[in-house]
Structure 1
Amino acid sequence: MIALEKQLKNPVWHSLNETHKKFAVEINGVRFYNPEVCPFGSFEDVGKTVVASNEYVKGTDEFFYVSENQIPLVDDTKVALVKKIDGCQMVLNQLANVEITEKIFPLAKEMMDEIYDLVWMVMPGYYRKRTYEMGKYFGIFRDGKLVSVTGQRMQTDQFIEVSAVVTHPNYTRQGLAKQLIAHTTKEILKDGKTPILHTNKGNLAISLYEKLGFELTRDMNWWLYRKL
């Protein structure tokens, strides 16, 4: 078994080698998710990324390379760097005691469109409709409408990532995201795995994650490329 610490240094790569192997598209030694599921790619040898990128963009307009510290190489006649997102990884140390006052529902496949619409309204770019297939999703409703959601994204036999933490702007500052993160984290712990998450450096939500028991561990950068 590959050590957890090694997996966390390249979470996309190891997710696609284990739990999410069914979503893997491997090109020239570089691993990508099926672009209908998640627009992420990863590599161990940066020298392989030029050929892989040129092939992968035949099936998608945009994608991310996810890397702790390596800079991808690409053919700038085929793909262009849109932006680099300076991100960070957080790993649960010990989950804080959070009172759950809201009714939290597991979200069925029939909710895929509603989840997609809410995530894209609040945090566009990362989520695809089939991202739902990557793990369990949970939500809170108001008047029959989904207003807050969180779910599970990258995962291996040892960790599961908490992701898609979004709340409709009309329902923020009510503690909904806090309760959903705590609930989702507990579900991961029940599976005997380590909860992790990723976010942008400087994100105001980092203080919330720290209060819940997550600790900053390393950089995790997101390179967004667009097909030319």
Structure 2
Amino acid sequence: MAVLDNVFWHALSDTQRHLTLGTGNVRRYSSGLPPLLAFADPRHPHLDELAPFCAPGERFYAADWRGDAPPGWQIELETTMELMVWSGGAVSEEPIEAVRLGADHVEHMVELATLTKPGPFGPRNLELGTYLGCFEQGRLAAMAGERTQAGALREVSAIATHPDFQGRGLARKLVKRIVANQLARGETPFLHVMSSNAGALHLYRQLGFEVYRTCAVRVVAKT
């Protein structure tokens, strides 16, 4: 699957281009969407071309780029993540009281993402796909949704459970429902998880995801 070798670029320059800013070499999601960058060629990121579309101090996640930071940019974090692709066949969903999240739930979603840090997230994430959540005691206990789309490849993202509601399989059940919906649409689910997150890696393997490759990932900021 060659698209998976640079899936963010295929998404931001093609399928989701209407939600992005940038040039033919480098693009970003628009403000309010996840702070992600994508490069036509990660070996030559052309970050200088992105400067007009960014504000000083803005921070972004960038995959696969390993070179030095050009003038005007600073590398704040460097690590790795696993790109995992669905290989589990049909999904056997588990009963769960879940609702489709909408505009009235954005505050709850941002609060949960800020607390649990499931990855790049923005208040406009609902524009990227379907998000499901479980509410208990008036609080968003868990959520999962969709982020990047590159053709028929559909990313599962923002998988998060509030610490007060962990240990009950809520995130697992939500992911199963998201994956089932994607498979029903003829899409191939994939996701990203930090290489250091052994618990999540184990869970996703159990669900039916397999590691496709390990990706370098950086957090960079425009100075």
What TM-score, normalized to structure 1? 0.89
After TM superposition, the structure 1 stretch with the greater mean CA deviation from structure 2, 57-66 or 14-23, is 57-66
1:21 to 17, 23, 48: 17
Partner-residue secondary structure (3-state), 1:173? coil
- Summarize deviations over 1:127-167 as a string: whole Å, max 9, x none: 11012211110011112321100000001221110000000
Query: How much is the aligned-residue C-alpha RMSD, in angstroms?
Result: 2.0
Structure 1: gaps (5+ residues): none
Find the aligned partners of 2:90 and 2:202 in 1 and give their Cα distance. Answer: 13
2:170 to 163, 176, 184: 176
Q: 1:220–1:166: structure 2 CA closer, same or farther, 3 Å change rule?
A: same
Partner-residue secondary structure (3-state), 1:13? helix
User: Aligned AA for 2:51?
Assistant: N
- Summarize deviations over 1:63-99 as a string: whole Å, max 9, x none: 12222xx4244324x2210001310100000147545
Post-superposition offset of 1:197: 0.4
Equivalent position of 2:51 in the other structure: 54
Find the aligned partners of 1:73 and 1:52 in 2 and give their Cα distance. Answer: 16
User: Aligned AA for 1:58?
Assistant: A
What TM-score, normalized to structure 2? 0.91
Post-superposition offset of 1:43: 1.1
1:95–1:214 CA contact under 8 A, matched in 2: no
Task: Write the mapping of 1:178-193 to structure 2, written as runs, cut at 5 A.
Answer: 178-193=172-187
- Summarize deviations over 1:14-54 as a string: whole Å, max 9, x none: 11233311112123621221132121111123335241343
2:134–2:142 CA contact under 8 A, matched in 1: yes
Equivalent position of 1:34 in the other structure: 30
Find the aligned partners of 2:67 and 2:123 in 1 and give their Cα distance. Answer: 27
1:41–1:63 CA contact under 8 A, matched in 2: yes
Q: 1:72–1:36: structure 2 CA closer, same or farther, 3 Å change rule?
A: farther
Partner-residue secondary structure (3-state), 1:126? coil
**Identity of paired residues, percent?**
27
Find the aligned partners of 1:17 and 1:224 in 2 and give their Cα distance. Answer: 20
Q: How many residues align?
A: 221
Partner-residue secondary structure (3-state), 2:168? coil
1:82 to 58, 66, 76: 76
Equivalent position of 2:66 in the other structure: 71
Question: Which of structure 1's runs of 4+ aligned residues deviate more than 6 A?
Answer: none
